[in-house]
């Protein structure tokens, strides 16, 4: 069969293969697909484009490109998760690279011919499928290589997704400036170049990834004898897992965590300027967004690896108690009250670190509750919470802001309400986390189940 090297059996690690080669492979994928968070750098150049008849695209229509990509991330992660468990991470990573790279190329044709539908199809649908496949592909592999530190391992990879924007943003800006200076069509050429570069970079991950041999364990490591009721030694198949209350409680936890984070992320630059009139320049506001992205990335590693010691439930309790307090206090730092930019920035970066931490800790929480057998597939289905939050979060934020503008009230007065709603959402997350209990033994797989899922687990 063509492309047989992508098969699961061809990616089994030889004896002596270091597990420390696996996180760079996962990072190559996540640092690439994390570019989606920097898609906004294309917004203004796309809005400035003119069709042959002189027409322009509007902000709403261009904004749909990102929304479609995120929606297809969730959809493809949910649909292909069970397939990924059988096909192995290498094949999934390869298709992810292909879809993500091809998405850029198709979108570039859409830009050249001024057809927005082609950009939706390319970057949104095909690229979005690449995002979903790439996001979940290394998760279960990392958990198998690092049974002693699952939070650290998945945190490392998912940190890459947060860091992808830091590479994708300046890369796109520099390429567009280069092609513009060379008198070439800057956006299409930039997109084709980025598609090619990301494909090559992701192929490094494809060729480097290995799965451990059956029964492999880290040298000198034995599973902890200290039993925790929330760390299961049994496995649950994806078809059963998503019908358990635990799955839906974790869905709510991820949903509220992401929605609350979007409350800041969605409006970060205008928010700081509105709350501190005249004291924050537009350039400084962009700097604030950059600072948030650094803490979003760092939080993914810090909180996920900390959860290996604190425990997943305790880590989410920190997010939902500290987070709720900070969301409540944040509007009090504004100009009319405490008037403290450092305090506002300090609180916002801690909140964003917990937003990232919530993303990165969830695979290890799933592994604790459902075992490692189908963890990528279960994670894939859980990511629909992200897609839902990606729709609901902006609806709350923009809906309230629009209402204030339409009723001729100052925009800055809308932020306390928005942030206090986010505080309330975190209280719901706290309750959901409180209700998490071990999965009932009726859902467990028999202990004789093969290590690799053989049939669709739906």
Partner 1 sequence: MTESAEKKSSPILISLAWLIVILPTLWGLNYTVKNALKLFTNNTPAPTATK
Q: Which residue, 35 or 244, is less far from partner 1 as judged by CB?
A: 35
Query: Considering only residues 113, 184, 224, 339, which one is a binding residue for partner 1 as defined by CB under 8 A?
Result: 339
Q: Identify residues 71-110 at the interface with partner 1 (CB under 8 A).
A: none
Q: What angle do CA 128, 134, 139 make, to 5 degrees?
A: 140
Q: Quick one: which of 10, 56, 217, 277 contacts partner 1 (CB under 8 A)?
A: 277
Structure tokens at 334: 């504004």
Q: 168 or 453, CB closer to partner 1? A: 168
SS3 199: helix
SS3 content of the chain, % helix, strand, coil (to 5): 75, 0, 25
- Please identify, using beta-carbon distances, which residue of 135 and 255 lies nearer to partner 1: 135
Q: One symbol per residue from 196 to 225: x for binding partner 1 (CB under 8 A), - otherwise; what is it?
A: -----x--x---x-----------------
In the window 155-194, what residues touch partner 1 (CB under 8 A)? 160, 163, 166-171
User: Smaller CB distance to partner 1: residue 223 or 290?
Assistant: 290
354 binds partner 1 (CB under 8 A): no
- Written as one string, the DSSP assignment of 273-303 is HHHTTTTS-HHHHHHHHHHHHHHHHHHHHHH
Q: What is the closest distance, in whole angstroms, from the C-beta atom of residue 422 to partner 1 in the complex?
A: 22
Q: Which is nearer to partner 1, 21 or 451 (CB)?
A: 21
Q: Which of residues 280-309 bind partner 1 (CB under 8 A)?
A: 280-281, 283-288, 290-291, 293-294
Instruction: Using CB under 8 A, pick the residue from 51, 279, 405, 431 that binds partner 1.
Output: 279
Main-chain dihedrals φ then ψ at residue 17, nearest 5 degrees: -70, 125
Give least dist CB 385 to partner 1, A. 27
Nearer to partner 1, 10 or 277 (CB): 277
Question: Taking the complex as a whole, how short is the minimal distance between the CB of residue 155 and partner 1, in angstroms?
Answer: 15
Q: What tokens does 453 get?
A: 């899922």
Span near partner 1 by CB under 8 A; candidates 132-140, 271-279, 301-309, 324-332: 271-279
Distances (CA, A) of 42 to 37, 55, 104, 192: 11, 18, 12, 13
DSSP bridge partners of 12: 211
CB nearer partner 1, residue 213 or residue 437: 213
Task: Mark out the alpha helices in 88-185 (DSSP H runs).
Answer: 89-112, 116-119, 127-136, 139-145, 150-181
The secondary structure of residue 218, as a DSSP letter, is -
Residues belonging to the chain: 458
Classify 410 as helix, strand or coil.
coil
Select from 175, 79, 86 the least CA-distant residue to 133.
79
Determine the Cα–Cα distance for residues 388 and 410; give it in Å rounded to an integer: 29
How much is the CA Rg of the chain, to the nearest whole Å?
A: 22
Give whichever of 12 and 294 is closer to partner 1, judged by the CB atom: 294
CA dist 311 and 421 (Å) reads 28
| Smallest distance from partner 1 to CB 169, Å | 8
Nearest distance from C-beta of residue 432 to partner 1, angstroms: 33
Region from 15-23, 233-241, 366-374, 401-409 binding partner 1, contact rule CB under 8 A = 15-23
CB of 208 vs partner 1, minimal distance in Å: 6
Q: With CB under 8 A as the contact rule, which of the stretches 22-30, 69-77, 366-374, 417-425 interacts with partner 1?
A: 22-30
Which part of the chain contacts partner 1 (CB under 8 A), choosing from 27-35, 50-58, 299-307, 394-402?
Answer: 27-35
> For residues 122 and 311, what is the distance between their CA atoms, to the nearest angstrom?
41
* 24 scored as a contact of partner 1 (CB under 8 A): yes
Question: How many binding residues for partner 1 (CB under 8 A)?
Answer: 45
Residue pair 361/314 in contact by the 8 Å Cβ criterion? no
DSSP state of 78: H
CA dist 27 and 340 (Å) reads 37
Give dist(CA 400, CA 415) in Å, integer: 9
Query: Closest separation between CB of residue 268 and partner 1, Å?
Result: 11
CB of 250 or CB of 268, closer to partner 1: 268
Distance, CA of 317 to CA of 35 (rounded, Å): 30
Binding site for partner 1 (CB under 8 A): 14-18, 20-21, 24-25, 27-28, 31, 160, 163, 166-171, 201, 204, 208, 276-281, 283-288, 290-291, 293-294, 335-336, 339-341, 345
């Amino acid at each position: 069969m063509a492309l047989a090297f992508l098969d699961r059996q061809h990616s089994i690690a030889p004896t002596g293969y270091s597990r420390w080669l696996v996180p760079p492979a996962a990072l190559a994928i996540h640092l690439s697909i994390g570019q989606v968070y920097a898609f906004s750098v294309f917004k203004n150049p796309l809005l400035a484009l003119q069709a042959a008849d002189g027409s322009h695209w509007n902000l709403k229509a261009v904004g749909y490109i990102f929304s479609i990509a995120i929606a297809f991330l969730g959809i493809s992660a949910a649909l292909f998760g069970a397939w990924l468990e059988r096909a192995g991470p290498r094949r999934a990573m390869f298709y992810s690279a292909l879809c993500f790279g091809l998405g850029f190329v198709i979108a570039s044709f859409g830009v050249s011919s001024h057809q927005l539908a082609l950009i939706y199809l390319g970057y949104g649908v095909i690229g979005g499928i690449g995002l979903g496949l790439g996001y979940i592909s290394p998760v279960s592999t990392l958990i198998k290589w690092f049974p002693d530190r699952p939070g650290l391992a998945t945190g490392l990879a998912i940190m890459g997704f947060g860091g992808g924007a830091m590479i994708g943003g300046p890369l796109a800006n520099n390429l567009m400036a280069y092609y513009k200076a060379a008198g070439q069509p800057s956006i299409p050429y930039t997109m084709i170049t980025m598609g090619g570069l990301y494909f090559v970079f992701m192929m490094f991950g494809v060729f480097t990834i290995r799965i451990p041999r059956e029964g492999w364990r880290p040298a000198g490591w034995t599973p902890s004898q200290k039993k925790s009721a929330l760390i299961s030694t049994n496995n649950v198949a994806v078809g059963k897992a998503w019908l358990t209350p635990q799955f839906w409680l974790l869905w709510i936890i991820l949903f509220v965590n992401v929605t609350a984070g979007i409350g800041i992320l969605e409006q970060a630059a205008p928010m700081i300027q509105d709350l501190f009139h005249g004291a924050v320049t537009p350039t400084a506001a962009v700097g604030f967004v950059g600072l948030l992205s650094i803490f979003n990335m760092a939080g993914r590693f810090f909180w996920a690896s900390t959860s290996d010691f604190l425990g997943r439930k305790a880590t989410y309790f920190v997010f939902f108690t500290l987070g709720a307090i900070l969301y409540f206090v944040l509007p009090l730092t504004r100009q009319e009250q405490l008037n403290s930019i450092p305090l506002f920035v300090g609180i916002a970066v801690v909140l964003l670190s917990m937003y990232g931490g919530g993303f990165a800790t969830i695979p290890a929480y799933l592994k604790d509750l459902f075992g490692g057998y189908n963890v990528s597939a279960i994670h894939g289905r859980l990511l629909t919470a992200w897609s839902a939050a990606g729709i609901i979060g902006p609806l709350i934020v923009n809906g309230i802001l629009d209402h204030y503008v339409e009723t001729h009230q100052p925009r800055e007065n809308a932020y306390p309400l928005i942030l206090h709603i986010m505080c309330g959402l975190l209280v719901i997350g706290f309750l959901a986390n409180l209700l998490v209990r071990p999965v009932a033994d009726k859902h467990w797989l028999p202990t004789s189940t093969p290590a690799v899922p053989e049939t669709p687990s739906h």
